[in-house]
């Protein structure tokens, strides 16, 4: 279970996201995000957004509901993926903060797949300009030795860029920051500014191929 403690890096990340939102999305800001027991993301962003949608898999979602203005913030006991699938909230969202602690390639036992969630979100939203913030840990879960996944750039080229382009979004800005968690795991916080471009040709996306001509990275081969 996620231990929601006061954390200077998380606070710093939220400050960066806050400033980016103000700069890039002038009005009608709708956010979908992962928060924690103490709803720190809600508290920071609520003053400048119209509405927030928060899925939470843990039981403390009940405590979270007590701490927010329920007219402005919808909290559901479900996964991010289910929230995108089952409800129409994602259609009007122009900001997503997928603040994960695990790997980008996901965790089968916990049924969390960050890359798939972002893809689903981009597929569902009807907004043209999107701020997409995400955190995950930098660990190679592909099982392939030919990818040095500790390198942030390769995460971008192998996973994020092809997935985003496959949903016909152009990447206007990509700001990654690597930081270290207490236990020593390297984490990455990324802010992307995306804009819809229906002219993107899916057949021209640069998927990365290994020496046998097989795709590496995205889509993830399970
Ligand atoms: C790292 S915390 C978010 C922290 C928060 N953004 C902050 O700045 O303090 C992630 C939260 O999302 C929940 N969570 C993780 N994966 C999820 C998923 N796939 N769907 C819904 N909730 C999830 C965790 O239980 C946890 O409460």
Q: Assign residue 17 the CATH number of its domain.
A: 3.40.50.150
Residues in the chain: 222
Which residue, by CA, sits nearest to atom 27 of ligand 1?
Answer: 36
Q: Residue 89: what pLDDT?
A: 94
Per-residue pLDDT in tens (0 to 9) along the chain, 222 residues: 777 777 889 999 999 999 999 999 999 999 999 999 999 999 999 999 999 999 999 999 999 999 999 999 999 999 999 999 999 999 999 999 999 988 887 777 777 889 999 999 999 999 999 999 999 888 765 556 666 655 677 788 888 999 999 999 999 999 999 888 766 778 899 999 999 999 999 888 877 777 777 777 777 654
Mutate to test the pocket of ligand 1, among 32, 34, 105 (most ligand atoms within 8 A of CB): 34
Q: Residue 157: what pLDDT?
A: 83
Q: How many domains does the chain have?
A: 1
Q: What residue numbers bound the domain in which 202 lies?
A: 8-216
Helix (H, G, I), strand (E, B) or coil at 56: coil
Q: Single out the residue of 32, 122, 133 nearest to residue 76, CA to CA.
A: 32
The span from the CA of 127 to the CA of 193, in Å, is 12
Mutate to test the pocket of ligand 1, among 1, 2, 67 (most ligand atoms within 8 A of CB): 2
Q: Tell whether 39 is covered by a domain.
A: yes
Contacts of 142 (CB under 8 A, 6+ apart): 105, 149, 216, 217, 220, 221
Residue 182 C-alpha to ligand 1 middle, in angstroms?
A: 18
C-alpha to C-alpha distances, 82 to 79, 89, 179, nearest whole angstrom: 5, 11, 29
Residue 100 C-alpha to ligand 1 middle, in angstroms?
A: 6
Q: Tell whether 191 is covered by a domain.
A: yes
Q: Tell whether 172 is covered by a domain.
A: yes
Q: Tell whether 221 is covered by a domain.
A: no
Question: What is the atom index within ligand 1 of the atom nearest the CA of 60?
Answer: 27
Q: Give this prediction's pTM.
A: 0.92
The span from the CA of 190 to the CA of 13, in Å, is 9
Residue 99 C-alpha to ligand 1 middle, in angstroms?
A: 6
Q: Tell whether 1 is covered by a domain.
A: no
Q: Single out the residue of 199, 200, 217, 197 nearest to residue 208, CA to CA.
A: 217
Q: Tell whether 195 is covered by a domain.
A: yes
Q: Tell whether 3 is covered by a domain.
A: no
Question: What is the atom index within ligand 1 of the atom nearest the CA of 37?
Answer: 27
Pairing of strands 73-76, 95-103: unpaired
Q: Residue 222: what pLDDT?
A: 43
The span from the CA of 167 to the CA of 122, in Å, is 6
Q: Tell whether 222 is covered by a domain.
A: no
Give the ranges where the chain is alpha helix by DSSP (H): 8-24, 40-45, 61-67, 80-86, 89-92, 114-124, 152-155, 161-166
Residue 54 C-alpha to ligand 1 middle, in angstroms?
A: 9
């Amino acid at each position: 279970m996620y231990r929601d403690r006061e954390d200077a890096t998380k606070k710093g990340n939220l400050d960066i996201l806050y400033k980016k939102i103000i700069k890039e999305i002038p009005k009608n800001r709708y956010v979908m995000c992962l928060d924690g027991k103490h709803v720190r993301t809600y508290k920071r962003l609520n003053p400048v957004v119209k509405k927030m949608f928060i899925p939470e898999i843990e039981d403390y979602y009940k405590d979270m509901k007590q701490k927010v203005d329920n007219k402005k913030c919808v909290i559901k006991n479900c996964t991010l993926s289910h929230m995108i699938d089952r409800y129409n909230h994602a259609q009007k969202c122009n900001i997503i903060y997928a603040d994960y602690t695990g790997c980008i390639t996901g965790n089968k036992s916990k049924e969390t797949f960050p890359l798939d969630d972002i893809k689903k979100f981009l597929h569902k939203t009807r907004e043209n300009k999107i701020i997409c913030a995400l955190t995950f840990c930098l660990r190679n879960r592909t099982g392939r030795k030919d990818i040095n996944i500790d390198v942030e750039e390769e995460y971008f080229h192998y996973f994020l860029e092809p997935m985003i382009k496959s949903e016909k979004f152009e990447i206007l800005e990509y700001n990654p920051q690597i930081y270290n968690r207490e236990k020593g795991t390297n984490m990455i916080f990324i802010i992307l500014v995306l804009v819809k471009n229906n002219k993107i040709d899916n057949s021209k996306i640069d998927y990365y191929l290994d020496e046998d001509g097989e795709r590496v990275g995205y889509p993830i081969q399970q």
